Structure 1
Amino acid sequence: MAGLLLAAGSGSRLGRPKALVELAGERLVDRGVRTLSEGGCSPLLVVLGAADTSVTGALTVRNPDWETGMGSSVRAGIDAVPGTADALLIALADQPLVTPEAVRRLVVAYEQGARAAVATYHGNPRNPVLLGREHWSTVYSMAQRDVGARPFLRAYSHLVTTVACDDVASPEDIDTQEDLARVTEMFGGV
């Protein structure tokens, strides 16, 4: 199963690209790649846009349309997935509290037959998201502006396996300096 990390945004509310933000001495983009790898995804792809950086352990995909929103990054990522991949797990760089165990749970759901799955936190679907190849074209057509797989998950909820991850991860994201301070404090103020 391929792993796709979306890390193209400029972080306009944060004041810098989120991919380059460090948390506990590790850039969010590197943390996301490590999380996907340790969770069982391979190959790994990272969609970049605002930040031009190298990422060890992943194929870098440039999204020239990153300013249009997450939808274009989802499409760029799907376009770059190797033909041998049967499924894709999508995660966001700005959610550093998503753990390898949450990713692993989605991988296990796939191994047990799920063709679409989403991590849930207190019953609410968030990220990461797993998509079997047969759903990529539908997600591709629905991923517009600043939405990725969410419209697919809603429209085809009857096909989606929910995977509880409350006990091993959190969907907290970093959009503002306040968010960064809160998440940094969760990491012991590093």
Structure 2
Amino acid sequence: MFLTGLVLAAGASTRLGEAKQLLPYRGRTLLDATLDLARSCGFDQLLVTLGGAAAAIRDQVDLTGCQIVENPAFSTGCGSSVSTAARAVHARADALVLLLGDQPGVRVADVRRVATATTPLAVCRYANGLGHPFRFDQKVLPELYDLHGDKAVWKLLHSGRHPVTEVPADGPVPVDVDTRADYERLLAGDV
């Protein structure tokens, strides 16, 4: 199976007030930690979307092994990043696995279980709800081309147009850093 991983890192971090991708985390940046996780998953292709703070990210983050996808419309929401990146997915890809660049607490084992789901869509089912990573079968990729706004992938997931596998994952949904309080929770070990 040929798998493409996608790390969303194009956001402008408006709620936080500074580039969250570059926040210090375990001796590196938050995005470095997430990319280390993504590299550990063994994807055949690894895409990273950049937009807000792209120049600083290129200067400060190790992007080795990543194919950069620039999203000029990053300020319109993460749907534009997914839409832009979906067009860069390798033609041989059987599936696309979506990760958030500000969520380093996702476990490799959970990514691998989601990646091997056999339905068109898959998502992790944590103790307190659904969360990333998501998996999109190759047949669903064309629907990603028209996504826009925030929560676009959630709308597709809940649309009822495709069967969805909820892959069991231990513990709560890993911290997704959007605010200073989220970042503090992450630093406190509430991953």
TM-score normalised by the shorter chain: which range applies? Answer: 0.7 to 0.9
Specify the code of the residue in structure 2 equivalent to 1:58.
C
Q: Does 2:109 match 1:85?
A: no
Task: Work out the CA distance in 1 between the residues paired with 2:111 and 2:42.
Answer: 7
Which residue identity lines up with residue 160 of structure 1 in the other structure?
A: V
Counterpart of 1:116 (choices 114, 121, 145) is 121
Q: Does the CA contact (< 8 Å) of 2:123 and 2:133 recur in 1?
A: yes
Inter-partner Cα distance in structure 2 for 1:176 and 1:123: 20
Offset at 1:177? 1.3
Alpha-carbon shift at residue 26 of structure 1 (Å): 2.5
Shifted more, 21-30 versus 66-75: the winner is 21-30
Percent identity between matched residues is 36
Aligned residue pairs total 183
- The one-letter amino acid paired with 1:147 is K
Secondary structure at the counterpart of residue 158 of structure 2 = helix
2-side partners of 1:94 and 1:103: how far apart?
A: 15
Structure with greater helix share of residues: 1
- For residues 163 and 79 of structure 1, the distance between their equivalents in structure 2, rounded to whole angstroms, comes to 26
**Residue of 182, 185, 188 corresponding to 2:188:** 185
Name which of structure 1's ranges 128-137 and 118-127 shifts more when overlaid on structure 2: 118-127
**Aligned pairs (5 A) from 1:2-41:** 2-41=4-43
Written as runs of structure 1 = structure 2, the 5 A alignment for 1:64-83 is 64-83=72-91
Distance in 1 of aligned mates of 2:18 and 2:64: 21
When residues 59 and 85 of structure 1 are mapped into structure 2, their CA distance, relative to the original with a 3 A threshold, is same
What is the deviation of 1:139? 3.1
User: Structure 2: how far apart are the matches of 1:182 and 1:18?
Assistant: 14
Q: Secondary structure at the match of 1:149?
A: helix
Unaligned 5+ runs, structure 1 = none
Q: In structure 2, what is the equivalent of residue 48 of structure 1?
A: 50
Unpaired runs of 5+ in structure 2?
Answer: none
Q: Paired residue for 1:127?
A: 132
Provide the residue aligned with 2:167 in structure 1.
163
- Aligned partner (choices 153, 157, 166) of residue 157 of structure 2: 153
The Cα of 1:157 is off from its aligned counterpart by 6.8
Name segments (4+ residues, structure 1) moved above 6 Å: none
TM-score by length of 1: 0.88
